[in-house]
């Protein structure tokens, strides 16, 4: 990993990424307009990981009333010094009805974070998602605690 990248400091870091598979055909990552990107280049402050996590917590699984971060769907968040964000995430099941649209929704929300120049989401299937990956807050919300 390049020295300009920050990792989310949580239990997601301990998950090993053995293999990866795309759900959708390759697509363009979300980027800001040239005017927005120029404004980003003028800032010297790095994008805080907490700001990206806060954005991820604004995206909810359409079938479960819990955000994707607390559901444990986010496996990796890397932020470059330039403000490019790379995210590995999974879905609760391979047959998820929003599998094609979900990465774009996540990228769009992350691109709203001040300082983020671009966002790219990769859907991965290893390790598979299980309910044990959920935060205590998510388990409480779903009545599992």
CATH topology (fold) of 6-141:
GMP Synthetase; Chain A, domain 3 (3.30.300)
Residue 75: other Cβ atoms inside 10 A: 22
Q: End-to-end CA distance of the chain, in Å? A: 37
Nearest residue to 56 (alpha-carbon basis) of 143, 137, 1, 121? 121
Predicted pLDDT at 12:
34
Q: Do 127 and 15 form a contact (C-beta atoms < 8 A)?
A: yes
Q: What is the largest CA-CA distance in the chain?
A: 47
Greater confidence (98 vs 68) lies with: 68
Predicted pLDDT at 36:
55
32: tokens are 């800001």
The overall average pLDDT reported for the chain is 78
**Of the spans 19-23, 36-40, 110-114, which averages the highest pLDDT?**
110-114
């Amino acid at each position: 990993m390049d020295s300009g990248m920050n990792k989310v400091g949580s239990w997601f870091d301990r998950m090993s990424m053995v293999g990866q598979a795309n759900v959708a055909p390759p697509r363009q990552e979300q980027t800001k307009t040239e005017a927005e990107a120029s404004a980003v280049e003028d800032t010297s402050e790095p994008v805080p990981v907490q700001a990206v996590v806060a954005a991820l917590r604004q995206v909810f699984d359409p079938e479960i009333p819990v955000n994707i971060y607390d559901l444990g769907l986010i496996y990796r968040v890397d932020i470059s010094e330039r403000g490019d964000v790379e995210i590995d995430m999974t879905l609760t099941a391979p047959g998820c009805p929003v599998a094609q649209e979900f990465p774009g929704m996540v990228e769009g929300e992350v691109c709203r974070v001040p300082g983020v120049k671009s966002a790219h989401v990769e859907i991965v299937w290893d390790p598979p998602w299980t309910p044990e990956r959920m935060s205590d807050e998510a388990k409480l919300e779903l009545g599992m605690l």
